[in-house]
Structure 1
Amino acid sequence: MPERGARDLSPGTQARFDRFSPTGPKTSLLTVPGAVGAEVAGFTPVGDVMGCVVHQVGYTETSTWSADRIGQLADILRAGYQTALDRLVEEATAIGAHGVLGIDFTITSPDGLVQEFVALGTAVRATAGPRPRRPFTTGLPGQDVAKLMLAGWVPVRVAVGISGRAFTDRWGRPMVNEWVGNIEVPMATELATAVRTAARAEFTREIGDCGADGGIVSDLKFDLWPVHDVAVAAMATVIGTAITRFREGPVAPTSTLKILPLTRI
């Protein structure tokens, strides 16, 4: 078992850490194709790992909802994803993992006053080759990681971009009029475009900040809702994996074979 280091683990992480034994069974959240893909990529599962945090959703005055509330919700999302991921990496580091595959995020809010962020994944060790100083993280399954590495790419870490905004009609006109019919709501369209663009820009900055060469988007979330009939709010989240090239791999095919010769069967 690896040394735990000077930094103490949280009680919950410590309890999960104590489950792991060098000679005991190894748990995994990978599917069968994912487990086989991880083996092809040179990784062995050492256990499932988790990071979680519960955030309170603070109160803001109704009159300032459009300006402040949506920004506060975006900050909660940003902090929740990052804290859950950091704690997952902390647990993976404690059991001597070199990376975490198939990370999945879930957010639950039982009462609307608090939100729980949970990150779950499978910690793996490299069977050969250089080991990273800090475990890499990715939401990609084992088979996709194998394809990446065979092509000369390696995952670096999960990247998240979030944007939340609200637009208000300065004249106080209703956002939606059910009697008008099927027409575009220009302010909502403008907001949706702006929020998605900002989330993608933050995702791109996250990739650049870790020195990666590119990113693979694995999940897009978007919500848009009216506020007090005269405003509209939107939230966009982009989740993916920052990747970097470590060698030139084989060239991907640029065309498909429309006819399969019988000689190839």
Structure 2
Amino acid sequence: MHPRAGRYAESGLRTSLLSAPGAVGAEAVGLRPIGEVMGCVVARSEELTSGLRHGYATALDRLRAEASALGADGVLAIACTVTRVSATVREFTVLGTAVRAERGVRPARPFTTGLPGPDVAKLLYAGWVPVTVAIGIDGGTTYDIAMRDRPGEEVRAPTELVTRVRAGARAEFTGAVAASGADGGLVTSTTLRAWRLGPTGVGAVTSVFGTAVAQVGAGARRGVAGAVLPLSDE
């Protein structure tokens, strides 16, 4: 048994990171919170983009291992953070709340999602299920002598770099959704970090975070979903 899951079993305590509305939304569709789960890794990488990919993937794998050890069917409201320790060392942490299905068919492996309980409830009532957290990352560098000579004006090279890495991250996110066997993806957040490289250079890295979802029903049932999370102002 996973060490953290073993401590849960010994203490008998069950923790949750869900808000009160989040817990109510999850329980409304038969997902009972059974414990907070975490995955983390401190990793060294000379290459930023591949280091981010590996760090997030490792942390998420460890979170899934904890959830499986608890007998969970899924993990809700996953938050991913990265802390820079040094120029080449970063700490990756993912936190979420494991849930167990009280009825219906249990998945072969725990699903993962960054969506909170009410949003997951809305998905389930509408005939969709979360499959896995999906992440797309891309980065690059560019140099242009014009960045030094034209202050206050748009410089083409950095603009093209940011556009390119954003497109690359979106494409990688879409690929991750397709690789999971899901029918679509919900983007929940994006990040962009850019920095100067001397007087004529710039670097940029962007990330796209979301959830791959699969359709299992005939379509939305608005009257039922509205009891958990309003779909409109009506």
1:44-65 residue CA offsets vs partner (Å, 9 max, x unmatched): 011000000111133xxxxxxx
Match in the other structure for 1:69? none
Aligned length: 227
Match in the other structure for 1:38? 26
Q: Which runs of 5+ in 1 are unaligned?
A: 5-12, 59-71, 261-265
**Are the structure 2 counterparts of residues 256 and 121 from structure 1 closer, same or farther at C-alpha, using a change threshold of 3 Å?**
closer
For the residues of structure 1 that align with 2:36 and 2:91, how far apart are their CA atoms? Answer: 19
8 Å contact kept, 1:176–1:185 = no
For the residues of structure 1 that align with 2:189 and 2:134, how far apart are their CA atoms? Answer: 11
SS at match of 1:102: strand
RMSD: 2.0
Aligned counterparts, 1:16-55, within 5 A: 16-21=4-9, 24-55=12-43
Give the TM-score of the pair, scaled to structure 2.
0.91
Match in the other structure for 2:228? none
| Greater strand proportion | 2
Give the TM-score of the pair, scaled to structure 1.
0.81
- 1:23 CA displacement: 8.3
8 Å contact kept, 1:222–1:237 = yes
Match in the other structure for 2:215? 245
8 Å contact kept, 1:174–1:229 = no
1:176-200 residue CA offsets vs partner (Å, 9 max, x unmatched): 44xx442111111111111000000
For the residues of structure 2 that align with 1:187 and 1:125, how far apart are their CA atoms? Answer: 50
For the residues of structure 1 that align with 2:140 and 2:35, how far apart are their CA atoms? Answer: 39
Of 214, 229, 238, the residue aligned with 2:184 is 214
SS at match of 2:56: helix
Matched, 1:227 2:227: no
1:69-117 residue CA offsets vs partner (Å, 9 max, x unmatched): xxx1000000001000000001100110000000001111233341000
8 Å contact kept, 1:44–1:125 = yes
**Large movers: runs of 4+ above 6 Å:** none
8 Å contact kept, 1:159–1:242 = yes
Identity %: 50
Of 158, 162, 173, the residue aligned with 1:203 is 173
Q: Which runs of 5+ in 2 are unaligned?
A: 224-230
Structure of higher CA gyration radius = 1
Matched, 1:152 2:140: no
For the residues of structure 2 that align with 1:191 and 1:175, how far apart are their CA atoms? Answer: 13
SS at match of 1:78: helix
For the residues of structure 2 that align with 1:196 and 1:181, how far apart are their CA atoms? Answer: 24
Aligned counterparts, 1:121-200, within 5 A: 121-169=96-144, 173=145, 175-177=147-149, 180-200=150-170
- 1:164 CA displacement: 0.7
